Amino acid sequence: MVNSTHVTHFTLTAYFDSGLLKYLYSVILATLYVSIIAANVLLIVVICVNRSLHEPMYIFLCSLSVIQLYGSTGLFPFLVVQILSENHDVPTSVCFLQIFCLHSYGLVEVFILSAMSYDRYVAICHPLQYHTRMTRYRTTTLIAVLWFYGFFACSVMVSLSSSLQLCGNIINKVYCDNYPVVKLACSDTTALNIYGLIISFINVFSPLAFIVYTYMRILKVCFSGSKQTRLKAVSTCTPHIASLLNFILGASFEIVQSRFNMNHVPNVLRIFLSLYFITCQPLFNPLMYGLNILQIRIKRCLGCHFP
């Protein structure tokens, strides 16, 4: 038995000896990280310098890019160091810091996506009330509340997890995650389990149910509306739907990777599934929304205005 006071580090066992290929992998990850930084920063700058884009939809998009920069920074430098290192032991403080960073990233992102769905719902279903409902003050206040709540909820989770007595220090992943740490516990986890169920309902099922509801209302308006209404809905909702589906796909990969026995799956595929959630979304979003912004600007230049 290993007491929690003796657990000074966690050992990540999902890494494998790749020989000289580790230098290639580290370059690929570093390139991907730089690409994510460049794409998201560029999107933020484009929105900030164009006054025509100072609308709630793009303010939410800026917030989405910021949280993706935050989440990527919590993972990529860590991965590069671990790949190049011969020792995959991580201090407990660093491990719990990474758990907080990655979980708060996912939590804030799903909240921002749900807020963006509400913004699209108001714009399409209640266009005459849009500027009174979605003021800049309300938008920024909502973003601040979502960020604060996301960080607070993850702080409570990490506090409960870090107080557990552990009977081991082996994590079969390439980065630190909360569920594998909880599985190492040899003390009572009732409080953490109850808290996990509560925040799962509040932070996962509730936002997703809200998103489904808003899109059902949008579809109802589209089917009963004019062609222009349908074009507007397609133009403004397609990037959000694509981003949402990509997020759900990555989250599903992460849940399967954490909750089920994946020993029969090749190690490389398991690593890819566990990293998809945090690597593909930050690069996919700026590309998708960047193309949509470019499309909107071209249409406006050609005199085809969409409200």
In a domain, 283, yes or no: yes
In the three-class reduction of DSSP (H, G, I as helix; E, B as strand; rest coil), residue 125 is classed as helix
pLDDT band, residue 263 (cuts 50/70/90): low
Choose among 283, 303, 297, 288: nearest CA to 71. Answer: 283
pLDDT above 80 for 214: yes
CA distance 36 to 43: 11
In the three-class reduction of DSSP (H, G, I as helix; E, B as strand; rest coil), residue 166 is classed as strand
In a domain, 306, yes or no: no
For 61-93, b where at least 16 C-beta lie within 10 A, e where not — what string? bbbbbbbbbbbbbbbbebbbebbeeeebebebe
Encoded tokens for 226: 């004019």
In a domain, 139, yes or no: yes
In a domain, 242, yes or no: yes
In a domain, 280, yes or no: yes
CATH number at residue 137: 1.20.1070.10
pLDDT band, residue 73 (cuts 50/70/90): very high
In a domain, 307, yes or no: no
Helices (H), the chain: 21-49, 56-73, 76-84, 92-125, 130-133, 136-162, 178-183, 190-200, 206-224, 227-259, 267-301
In a domain, 245, yes or no: yes
pLDDT above 90 for 5: no
In a domain, 213, yes or no: yes
User: What total of structural domains would you count in the chain?
Assistant: 1
pTM of the model: 0.86
pLDDT band, residue 306 (cuts 50/70/90): very low
Rounded to 5 degrees, φ, ψ at 185 are -70, 140
170 beta partners: 11
Hey, what long-range contacts does 127-130 have (CB within 8 A, 24 or more apart)?
A: 127/307
Structural domain harbouring 57: 4-301
pLDDT band, residue 294 (cuts 50/70/90): low
Task: Give the single-character DSSP code of 128.
Answer: G
